[in-house]
Structures are given as C-alpha cells and as structure tokens.
Structure 1
C-alpha cells in the first residue's frame, strides 16, 4: 500500500494531467474538500469541481511533500492561464489508502482580481 506522501504526489500529478479517473481512485466516497472557495463533500462533487478548475491549469511543479502514517502535506506551484502561477499547499488525511480530507490553501488574490 502507498504511503500518504506517495498518495498525495500521485493525486496532485493526476490533477495536473486533468486525469479525473486517476484522481477518483485516490478519493474516499465521503471525502471532504476545503479550499478558500468553500467546502465540498463527496467524491463526485469534489471531482467535478477539481476537474473544472484543472481546465485552466497548464502545469504543476511539486516543491515538497511530507507525510506520516495517515496524513501528508504537499506544496506545489500551479501554473494557470488566467491567474498566473499560484503556490498551493494541500493537507491530506488518508485512511485505508484513500483521501478522506483535503484542505487546500493558496493565495486567492489573482482569482479575486480576475473575478468582477
């Protein structure tokens, strides 16, 4: 079984590729996703939101990954067309090899600036 740090890396890499099927393979059905834009519960709604945002992502560079037996923290630069490069950090809680909680933090300035 993969470690939480490995799962975090695979999940972010799948997001960068816009590979919703690969992302789905890492999420628990009852996952809770928190971001500066709100909280979403359940794998299907989380995948829909992440898939939609991934459409503007041109690439991801992973900067650091740390983890222990049940959680991981991954920091990465997300290159987007409309918002430039956004530095992001995800805190993931993993149970039975699946992500049950994803807390995403990033500076929302560029998103707020682009939204009328």
Structure 2
C-alpha cells in the first residue's frame, strides 16, 4: 500500500522520519496528548510520559534503516533497524493507531539483547 493511500501510514512515516532525523519536537506533533504506548518497559500514558521514554533513545541514535511499512485507514506497522552509540544493530517495530492525523496508541517491540550484551561488556562481564 502506498503512503498516499493510507492516512495512518502517512502519519506513521512522518513521525518515524522526524524522530530518526533527530527532530523530536517535530515527532511529538504527531503524538496525541492522551497517547497510550505499550513499550518493552511497560505501559506509558500521556504525551509527557511518552516523551520521557522515547526522546532519550533519539540521543543515542546514529542511524536508522526502514525495513518495511504498511498501513490502512487507522493502523500502520513500521519495521526498522537502528544503529546507536552502544550497539550497531537494534531492530524494532511499531504498530501505530492513528486518529485524525495523530498517533493515539503505539506498541513498540524491539530486540533488547544487543543492549544487554553491550551493558555486560561495558561492566566487564
């Protein structure tokens, strides 16, 4: 499905381009004030909690590669790989619900194993 024919995908990709482009203020313009985010660390509610979770990740992000993206009227799925200061490859995926051009629900899945291994290596384990 093309971005032009999917409102949810258009919003999801604009959000993805903003945060991976280190413009988190712009990324937040796509986030609903009452967003619910299901993250590996648990459930987050509200834009402030979401920003506190996601923005620090953008500070260690050095590159991102979009693997695939699909969407329809209200749901989009985006899969990507990120390169960060501590790890060379940290794949992730997001399932986003979009209402009136803003993301109201976001489920993030990513592989924590590379970060755990990097932390252990830094600790000398």
User: Normalization by structure 1: what TM-score?
Assistant: 0.91
Return the match for 1:12 from 16, 22, 45: 16
Return the match for 1:90 from 82, 94, 106: 94
Whole-angstrom distance in 2 between the partners of 1:40 and 1:56: 21
**Which ranges in structure 1 are unaligned for 5 or more consecutive residues?**
none
Q: CA deviation at 1:111?
A: 1.9
Q: Point out the structure with the larger strand share.
A: 1
Structure 1 segment 72-111 matched on structure 2, within 5 A? 72-111=76-115
Q: Which moved more, 1:1-10 or 1:99-108?
A: 1-10
Q: Contact 1:93–1:101 (CA<8 Å) still a contact in 2?
A: yes
Q: CA deviation at 1:104?
A: 0.6
- For the aligned residues, what is the CA RMSD? 1.7
**Which entry has the higher C-alpha Rg, 1 or 2?**
2
**Which ranges in structure 2 are unaligned for 5 or more consecutive residues?**
121-125
Whole-angstrom distance in 2 between the partners of 1:42 and 1:111: 26
Q: Contact 2:89–2:114 (CA<8 Å) still a contact in 1?
A: no
Q: Point out the structure with the larger helix share.
A: 2
Q: Contact 1:27–1:100 (CA<8 Å) still a contact in 2?
A: yes
User: Normalization by structure 2: what TM-score?
Assistant: 0.85
